[in-house]
Amino acid sequence: MTQKSQATKSRQIVLASRPEGVPTSSNFSMESVEIPPIEDGEFLVKNEWMSVDPYMRGRMKAGDSYVAPFQIDQPLEGGCVGRVVDSRNEKFPKGDYVLGNLGWREYWKSSGEGATVIDPNLAPLQAYLSVLGMTGMTAWVGLNTIAKLKPGSTIFVSAASGAVGSVVCQLAKAMDCKVIGSAGKPSKIDWLIDKAGIDACINYKESKDLAGDLTKHAPDGIDVYFDNVGGEHLEAALDAMNDFGCCVECGMISTYNATEPPVAPRNLFKVIAKRIRMEGFIVRDHLDAQAEFIADMAPLIKDKKIVWEETIADGLEKAPSAFIGLFDGDNLGKQLVRLG
């Protein structure tokens, strides 16, 4: 006779109110809940790692988007890695590690939908939230599927030291491309030059002429712009773009907290004159390429052609401040929360 599972006490972070402008700690609240015992076909996961990402800011707004908004007084969601601590599902036995999307909480139960068993021997567990997860796949899809990047191209990457941008830079360098990045701190610029191996980097916080600085580093123009910022960065990229170039629209963090529509780019007409292709994408639309992505990425990691940095906050209670810090550029590489 199968022993009956027990209810589990768990802490979780809920959206207390919708932010106006930059989120603050008052927009979040911690609460304790009781998760009912698992039933046949279910399993219980204890989270060990969770991800906070800029796109989550969009889900804190009411209204239609490509993903449903977070609800007031309901737990937030996001990528997470945890260990199965109780199971009545033979496909997810106790002791296995799984990747899921129910972060911002200590425990969650599932029947398997949206959960994937991962191999802790292939890479550190948290890598499945970065280079081997949606972060790395976002970079890979943007370059290979959207930009159709060709060896020898010149590419400009905004937020180049961020979780996605840092992988974009290295994948492009692995294709013998010239890579120019932007970042806002000297330590991030040093890492991009010394560790990621990019060719040049602009300190956008010190730059008085972003377009002019980009042209100095790319006198022959750029072929691809990988956009994580939008605004003035996009405007500068359009100025520097070669005819028939491509803007890969991945994110626009400069606008996420805006309370008024942004002014830039003021030169959007150049899309016509230069016959520029602009294409936005959501990585979830390309999950059918996940096996190809891992097959490409694994040997690059093994050969140390892809390195990555992590910024780690310890404890579920630190998740809101870790998320808010994204908008001040506090993180180098992937921002993670370790739940223990």
Nearest to 141 by CA among 111, 171, 120: 171
Nearest to 230 by CA among 258, 209, 206: 258
Read off the pLDDT of residues 194-231 as tens digits, 9 standing for 90 and up. 999 999 999 999 999 999 999 999 999 999 999 999 99
Same domain, 259 and 181: yes
pLDDT at position 66, please? 79
Q: Is residue 289 part of a domain?
A: no
> Residue 71 sits in a domain of what CATH number?
3.90.180.10
Read off the pLDDT of residues 219-264 as tens digits, 9 standing for 90 and up. 999 999 999 999 999 999 999 999 999 999 999 999 999 888 888 8
Positions of the chain with pLDDT under 70: 1-4
Instruction: Give the number of other CB atoms < 10 A from CB of residue 278.
Output: 17
> Residue 244 sits in a domain of what CATH number?
3.40.50.720
Name the domain boundary from 242, 269, 284: 284
Q: Is residue 294 part of a domain?
A: no
Q: Is residue 301 part of a domain?
A: no
Same domain, 272 and 195: yes
- In which domain, by residue range, is 58 found? 8-127+308-338
Q: Is residue 297 part of a domain?
A: no
pLDDT at position 304, please? 84
pLDDT at position 207, please? 97
Burial grade of 34 (CB within 10 A; 0-12, 13-18, 19 or more): exposed
Q: Is residue 147 part of a domain?
A: yes
Same domain, 122 and 147: no
- Residue 308 DSSP one-character state: -
pLDDT at position 4, please? 64
Q: Is residue 300 part of a domain?
A: no
Q: Is residue 271 part of a domain?
A: yes
pLDDT at position 1, please? 41
pLDDT at position 122, please? 81
pTM of the model: 0.88
- For the chain, how many structural domains are there in total? 2
pLDDT at position 88, please? 97
pLDDT at position 3, please? 58
**Assigned token pair, 124:** 């550190």
Same domain, 169 and 265: yes
Q: Which residues are CB-neighbours of 5 under 8 A, at least 6 positions away?
A: 37, 38, 44, 86, 88
- State how beta strands 97-100 and 116-118 pair: antiparallel
Same domain, 149 and 264: yes
Beta bridge partners of 180: 156, 200
Same domain, 38 and 114: yes
How far is it, in rounded angstroms, from Cα 119 to Cα 70?
Answer: 30
